[in-house]
Chain A
Amino acid sequence: MAAQGRHGGQESNKMTALVVDDNTVNRMIHHRLLDNLGIENVAVVNGKEAVDIHCSGKTFDLILMDMDMPVMNGIEATRQLREMGIRSMIAGVSTRSMEREIREFIEAGLDDYQEKPLTMSKLISIVHKING
């Protein structure tokens, strides 16, 4: 299912993404990876900002959601976004390796999960899922 990104109410054919990560280095790398694929992207630093940006009316084709963040973590943010009716592709990215923790993250409403560090090939596999 291909989602349409919307900026300020105007339809755009360019894919859009939201990076949600409290780590500065990771945000910069994820931003560059997305740029390289021609995906317009913005970054926020925790789950609450991810929810707030959606409350302001913005939506994205793809959300790259870190798990461990202050204020609101990725599990809670994913849950809230799904409760708000957000149907974007949400890909969890985390360094966690315990199955129980990953399962909790996935059950919160992820469409995909990738172990950090995120690579170009992992990102491409996520994007392919959006394009069907």
Chain B
Amino acid sequence: MDRNRLQHQVACMRRSLFDQGYLDEPFIQLEELQDDANPNFVQEIVTLFYTDSARLIQNIEHALNSRPIDFDKLDDYMHQFKGSSSSIGAKKVTNECTVFREYCSAENAEGCIRSFQQVKQEYAILRRKLEVYLQMVRQAAVSRTA
């Protein structure tokens, strides 16, 4: 693909991720922390986020299926998930985590189950978009050095 067109596509996709509210300010900081000495920093952090999230999602699912539900444990897991999401600028995911924690503090099991579906949905959407975006970024980087 034409190098300029690829770079333009990368810029457009990046802008839309921010405009549509999937990402916010902390993601920009991750990009700024990437340099020649740490050329894959964004990908490394995002990969770590995926691994961490998979573990937490599993833990939360297990906790939601337990009877009685341990809301303190649920809140701890979601606190972790919200912390990671917020640190990478995953805005929509973070917002859904906040909703979940409100149901959790009210010990509303139905609300927790419903809002957790939303958390997982937003996480899946973000992950798909980030994977496409970072793939394009890598392609653009290769085309620059070609």
Using a CB–CB cutoff of 8 Å, the interface residues on chain A facing chain B are: 22-26, 28-29, 32-33, 36, 68, 70, 95, 116-117, 119-120
Is B95 in contact with chain A by the CB < 8 A criterion?
Answer: no
Show the binding face of B for A, using Cβ within 8 Å.
Answer: 26, 29-30, 32-33, 38, 41, 44-45, 48-49, 52, 76, 79-80, 82-84, 86-88
A-B contact pairs, 18 of them (CB 8 A): A23-B52, A23-B80, A23-B83, A25-B45, A25-B48, A26-B83, A28-B44, A29-B33, A29-B45, A29-B87, A36-B33, A95-B79, A95-B83, A116-B83, A119-B26, A119-B29, A120-B29, A120-B32
Rounded to whole angstroms, the CA-CA distance of A23 and B87 in the bound complex is 10
Contacts of A26 in B (CB 8 A): 83-84, 87
A117's partner among B32, B49, B80, B86 (CB-CB below 8 A) is B86
Beyond known contacts A23-B84, A28-B45, A36-B33: 13 more, CB 8 A cutoff: A23-B52, A24-B48, A25-B88, A26-B84, A26-B87, A28-B44, A32-B38, A70-B76, A95-B82, A95-B83, A116-B83, A117-B26, A117-B87
